[in-house]
Amino acid sequence: MVNILNPKLLDLRVCAGEASDFSDVEKVATPQATEQWQPVSHDGLVKDFRSAIANTPNLDIVQEHHTLHRYGQRYFGLFQVKGIARKHDAEVGTIFGLRNSHDKSSRAMVCAGDAPFVCTNMIFNNEIVLGRKHTTHIMRDLPSLLGGAIGQLCNSWITSEKRIDSYMATEIDDRIAHDLIVRGFRNGACSKTQVTDIVNQWHAPEHEDFELRNLWSLSNAFTNVYRGNLTNTAKRSASLHSVLDTYAKSREMRTKDSLPLVLNAS
């Protein structure tokens, strides 16, 4: 169900670029299936996803953003949803993403993501492939596959909430930020050409919300640079989380180790 009355909407054009009308998505012809490959129709994937959301209690789609690339061979859709109880619901929007291709560049996938309302810097938390490459009856099984995936991804926002808390609580200085940016590049969280832009976003954030010197601000320096390329955002999100989560965990462990030992008097 699409609820257009929700007053707090993300500007999905910032992270995804100009939208394609869904009628254009419906016009894209699906290639002929073969014994080795069963393509998924773009519009069929979207319609089954909408139905799966409608069948999930308390979950509603509040806006959609569809994009087509390579003459319609590749599809990426964003769906902002409401209904998942979140601690940071006032600051961060909740998003599902759908990926599909007719040129065999990727399989049909659904992913979970976050974006701060202030800037719509998108990052994905998890991604689930819908069926195997050689699934013969993928269109028949798609509704049940989507229903199961949505249930799994809803749980991923529990981890996301803890991650946001951890990033906000982990203070860093310029030296550490620079080191983590280099680690991010080496881990695949950004390209060589994006490093300078990330450094600039760290030192002069586009939004004052990220002027605090912590991992949350550094994370948004990365995602600010990701804007406009959803495919790369999906690929780089896991790499970025790997680098920042590792540092946050190590800091937490060092903090615990430095706490004074209190002995109970006998």
Would the pTM count as exceeding 0.75? yes
In sequence order, the 6+-apart residues with CB closer than 8 A to the CB of 151 are: 56
User: Is residue 122 pLDDT above 90, yes or no?
Assistant: no
Nearest Cα residue to 136 out of 256, 14, 34? 34
The whole-number average pLDDT for the span 40-60 is 92
Per-residue confidence (pLDDT) for residue 22, from 0 to 100: 96
What does the DSSP assignment read for 158-217?
A: HHHHHHHHHHHH-B--HHHHHHHHHHHHHHTSS-GGGHHHHHHHHHS-SSGGG-SSBHHH
Helices (H) and strands (E) in the chain, counts: 8, 5
Say what percent of the chain tops pLDDT 90. Answer: 51
pLDDT in the model for residue 242? 95
What's the pLDDT at 231?
A: 77
- For the cut 80, the answer to whether the pLDDT of residue 264 exceeds it is no
Instruction: Give tens-digit pLDDT for 2-18.
Output: 444 444 888 888 766 67
Map tokens 């016009």 to a residue: 27
Q: How far apart are CA 74 and CA 123, in angstroms?
A: 20
Paired strand residues for 151: none
CA distances from 52 to 60, 152, 239 (A): 10, 13, 29
Average pLDDT, the chain: 86
Categorize the per-residue pLDDT at 153 as very low, low, confident or very high, splitting at 50, 70 and 90.
Answer: confident
